[in-house]
Amino acid sequence: MPDLASWRRLPALLLLLLAAQTAQGGLLDGRDSGPGFLPADEAFVLDALALEAGQIEARWLIAPGYYLYRHRLDVTPVAPEDITLQWQAPAGEAYEDEHFGQVNIFRDELSLPLRVDSTAESVELEFRYQGCADAGLCYPPQTRRLRIALPAAK
Amino acid sequence: MKAAALAGLAVLALILGFVSADLLRGTPTTEVSPAPDFELIDLNGVSHRRADYAGQVLLLNFWASWCAPCLKEMPRLQAAYARHQDQGFAILGPAIDDSADAAAAASRLEVSYPVSAGGAELFALMDALGDTLGALPFSVLIDRQGRIVERHWGELDQATLDHWLNSHL
């Protein structure tokens, strides 16, 4: 039976336990311990809503450690067919890519104002985007379609 | 006696640490499983089936020309391929890409192992090999018995690659 002095050392042993867990995680993370990355829809959460007639804001919430490429961003109208859509992506953050040179990226959050010329009650837009994780993983180009209700013009 | 008790506690803590890490993480340790059959047609039109690599250690490295970490790791893989090919180490590089882009990137990086290109069918193969993300790079190591012994999501660093080769080649 350990004496009192031994029990006093229990916190140190608990730290050792924690260290063992941490060490094991570090050693085996690369060995089929699961992806360790977020699915694309959790890394880049997209939503869009109409702020007022003719004005839509698309917003991506970008998880820490992940980023979207500016040059891979695209929005196109799906329905109605006669819709006119205008948008201009913000500048983003300059990023030197070893293979692709100087590119611009978005981190944390991307708000994209869209101007829509339509009298329809709603529009359907197609969003295309692509991003990566700093830890060395890239997602294929993502395509999402969103239907957005439009407020009536006053 | 005190020292013995402390040593006993330390050993117990280590055992608990190793056992509990997997439980707390909720992720499985490697489950060795048979690799599914597949056929990849490389950019030169040559067929590569899993059975063709029986008795070899085969690394399947899914990549794309639009994936910077993929391009970063490929010279590392090529070097390992050149160094260990004679020991029965093979690599196949299926690219989620069109053929022209995959060929240009492979040529620029001086990759000599077979590279193929495709789309949905390669994502299906990734799924069959145990992928859950659909992102790149994704690497799978198949041992000489045709079993999946390693999977890795993201860039394969030198230490991990060396560990795989030391363990399975």
What's the first-to-final CA gap in chain A, in angstroms?
82
Tens of pLDDT, residue by residue, chain A (154 residues):
455 555 555 555 444 444 444 334 333 333 455 789 999 999 999 999 999 889 999 999 999 999 999 999 999 999 997 889 999 999 999 999 888 899 999 999 999 999 999 888 999 999 999 999 999 999 999 999 999 999 876 6
Contact B66, A136 (CB under 8 A): no
User: Which strands, in side-by-side order, build the sheet including A93-97?
Assistant: A93-97, A101-106, A66-69, A131-133, A137-138
Tell me if chain A has a CB within 8 Å of the CB of B134.
yes
DSSP class of B144? T
| Angstroms from B74 CA to nearest CA on chain A | 12
State whether A33 and B137 contact (CB < 8 Å). no
CB nearest B18 (choices: A10, A24, A35): A24
Contacts of B29 in chain A (CB under 8 A): 28, 31-33
Using a CB–CB cutoff of 8 Å, tell me whether A16 touches chain B. yes
The whole-number pLDDT of residue B2 equals 57
User: Do the chains contact at A132 and B20, CB–CB below 8 Å?
Assistant: no
Nearest 5°: the CA angle B157, B103, B95 is 50
Q: Which residues contact B158 (CB under 8 A, 6 or more apart)?
A: B76
**Does A65 reach chain B within 8 Å, measured CB to CB?**
no
Query: Which segments of chain B have a pLDDT < 50?
Result: 1, 12-29
Identify from A14, A21, A37, A73 which residue to disrupt to test chain B contact, counting B C-beta atoms within 10 A and taking the largest count.
Answer: A21
| Cα distances (Å, whole numbers) of residue B42 to B49, B103, B166 | 11, 10, 28
Task: Give every CB contact of residue B85 below 8 A, 6+ residues apart in sequence.
Answer: none
Give the residue from chain A lying closest to B138, CA to CA. A137
pLDDT at A3 (0 to 100): 56
Compute the nearest-CA separation of B128 from chain A (Å): 15
Flag if B72 and A133 touch (Cβ within 8 Å). Answer: no
pLDDT at residue A100 in the model? 86
- Residue B76 touches partner A, C-beta closer than 8 Å: no
Nearest residue, CB atoms, A6 vs list B6, B16, B20: B6
**Cβ count near A61 (within 10 Å):** 13
Ramachandran sector of residue A136 (left: φ over 0; alpha: ψ -120 to 50; beta: rest): left
ipTM above 0.85 for this complex: no
Chain B residues within an 8 Å CB radius of A71: none
Q: Is the dihedral of CA B28, A30, B96, B48 positive or negative?
A: negative
- Token pair in block for residue B141: 């190591």
SS3 A63: coil
Task: Please tell me the predicted confidence (pLDDT) of residue A99.
Answer: 83
DSSP string, B35-51: PPP-EEEBTTS-EEEGG
**From the candidates A138, A139, A142, which should be mutated to test the interface with B, based on the most B CB atoms within 10 A?**
A138
